């Protein structure tokens, strides 16, 4: 499951959108207006003071740090450390943000 798939299923499960509404948004070439704090910030918005995340879920994140399951000596098996993991994510809707000044 991709992050977009996770966000869509969470939006439907939490009653924010129906599948028909999501299909219409995506068919129009737009993204679903449900993003993390950092994503809204990169779009030039900030979360309004006092707002709490509408959805808390887990999304895929990329890292190249060593995994925690290394050998006792700190040795890895010689492979790259690049991998994805599920991290807790807090999603905000468009009505919870405002344009940065």
Residue 78: exposed, middle, or buried by beta-carbon count in 10 A (0-12, 13-18, 19+)? exposed
Q: With contact defined as beta carbons under 8 Å apart, do 40 and 98 qualify?
A: no
Residue 76 in this model has a pLDDT that exceeds 70: no
Cα angle, residue 9 at apex, residues 33 and 18 outer, rounded to 5°: 65
Helical H runs in the chain?
Answer: 3-13, 19-27, 37-42
Residue 13 in this model has a pLDDT that exceeds 80: yes
Residue 80 in this model has a pLDDT that exceeds 80: no
Euclidean distance between CA atoms 11 and 99, whole angstroms:
23
**Taking all residues of the chain, what is their mean pLDDT, rounded to a whole number?**
91
């Amino acid at each position: 499951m991709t992050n977009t798939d996770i966000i869509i299923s969470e939006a439907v499960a939490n009653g924010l959108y129906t599948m028909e509404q999501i299909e219409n948004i995506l068919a129009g070439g737009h993204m679903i207006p449900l993003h993390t704090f950092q994503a809204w910030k990169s779009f030039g918005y900030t979360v309004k003071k006092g707002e709490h995340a509408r959805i808390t879920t887990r999304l895929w994140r990329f890292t190249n740090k060593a995994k925690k399951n290394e050998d006792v000596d700190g040795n890895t098996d010689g492979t790259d450390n690049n991998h994805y993991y599920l991290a807790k994510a807090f999603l905000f809707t468009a009505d919870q943000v405002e344009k940065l000044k």
